[in-house]
């Protein structure tokens, strides 16, 4: 069936093209004509109303009950989503996630050594563990990697901000505003604290001095742990 007519009361009418099977807008203004059969688009009846789709598929249907009708099916465009890679990611994690992960792993990694020195200071396992340099190598490599990630062109200027090439508190605060830099500083502290606790441990074994309290303080308050070890050593020698 070939037909072409205006079927909308609005000045902006549409025209049905039976050759291309599309609905096109017409720029001319004419009298609205009512169709003898309803028009449906995606299941919604559009009889005597404006068609809102500009390009639809037309299929015919006829039945004794409803008579002739035209079913309009809009064409669905396909969109391909392309996920762009974010430059914030370092390896498989972002900067914030990497800093949080390293912070947790570094803290957990040193806890077994402190536990051995406090719980079993005279065991063979503790002595061999504290004589090994593997934990310092691993933590040092991790610190170097974090330092590389946190290094910026402004790092040197922030470190030597003073006219006497000395750091200033405000510049150091700006430098540690980055989570990656803060994580690298935490690894730096863990290595120094563990090394100091190792010294206290070996010195205690050599001079037969109680070091458990000093080693425990070295974990979070390294200078205080060293101070308590010096005081304990002096008191022990004076008592003997």
pLDDT digits (tens, 9 = 90+) for 176-200: 889 999 999 999 999 999 999 999 9
Residue 236 has pLDDT above 70, yes or no: yes
DSSP annotation string for 115-135? HHHHH-TTSHHHHHHHH--HH
Q: Tokens for 229, please give them.
A: 């070890």
Band (pLDDT 50/70/90 cuts) for residue 154 is confident
Mean pLDDT (the chain, rounded): 74
Q: Which of 189, 192, 211 minimizes the C-alpha distance to 201?
A: 211
Per-residue pLDDT, 163: 82
* Mean of pLDDT values over 198-224: 95
Whether 13 and 30 have beta carbons less than 8 Å apart is answered as yes
Assign 36 to helix, strand or coil: coil
For residue 103, the tally of other CB atoms under 10 A from its CB is 17
Per-residue pLDDT, 214: 97
CA dihedral sign of residues 189, 191, 196, 198: positive
Per-residue pLDDT, 62: 52
CA 68 to chain centre: 59
Per-residue pLDDT, 159: 87
Q: In this predicted model, what pLDDT tens digit does every residue of 94-136 receive, in sequence order?
A: 678 999 999 999 999 999 999 999 999 999 999 999 999 999 9
Per-residue pLDDT, 70: 53
The span from the CA of 201 to the CA of 113, in Å, is 11
**Which of 62-76, 138-152, 184-198 has the lowest average pLDDT?**
62-76
Residue 92 has pLDDT above 90, yes or no: no
Residue 67 has pLDDT above 80, yes or no: no
């Amino acid at each position: 069936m070939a037909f072409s007519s205006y079927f909308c009361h609005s000045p902006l009418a549409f025209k049905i093209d039976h050759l291309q099977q599309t609905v096109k807008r017409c720029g001319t203004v004419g009298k609205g004509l009512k169709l003898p059969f309803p028009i449906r688009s995606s299941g919604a009846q559009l009889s005597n109303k404006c068609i809102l789709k500009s390009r639809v598929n037309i299929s015919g249907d006829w039945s004794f009950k409803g008579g002739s009708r035209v079913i309009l099916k809009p064409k669905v465009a396909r969109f391909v989503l392309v996920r762009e890679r974010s430059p914030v990611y370092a390896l498989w994690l972002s900067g914030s996630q990497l800093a949080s992960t390293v912070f947790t792993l570094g803290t957990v990694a040193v806890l077994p050594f402190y536990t051995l020195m406090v719980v079993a200071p005279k065991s063979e396992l503790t002595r061999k563990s504290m004589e090994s340099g593997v934990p310092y190598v691993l933590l040092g490599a991790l610190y170097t990697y974090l330092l590389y990630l946190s290094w910026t062109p402004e790092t040197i200027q922030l470190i030597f901000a003073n006219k006497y090439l000395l750091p200033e508190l405000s510049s150091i605060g700006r430098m540690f505003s980055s989570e990656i830099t803060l994580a690298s500083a935490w690894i730096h502290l863990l290595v120094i604290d563990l090394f100091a606790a190792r010294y206290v441990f070996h010195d205690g074994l050599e001079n037969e001095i109680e070091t458990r309290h000093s080693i425990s303080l070295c974990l979070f308050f390294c200078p205080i742990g060293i101070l308590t070890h010096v005081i304990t050593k002096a008191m022990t020698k004076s008592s003997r």
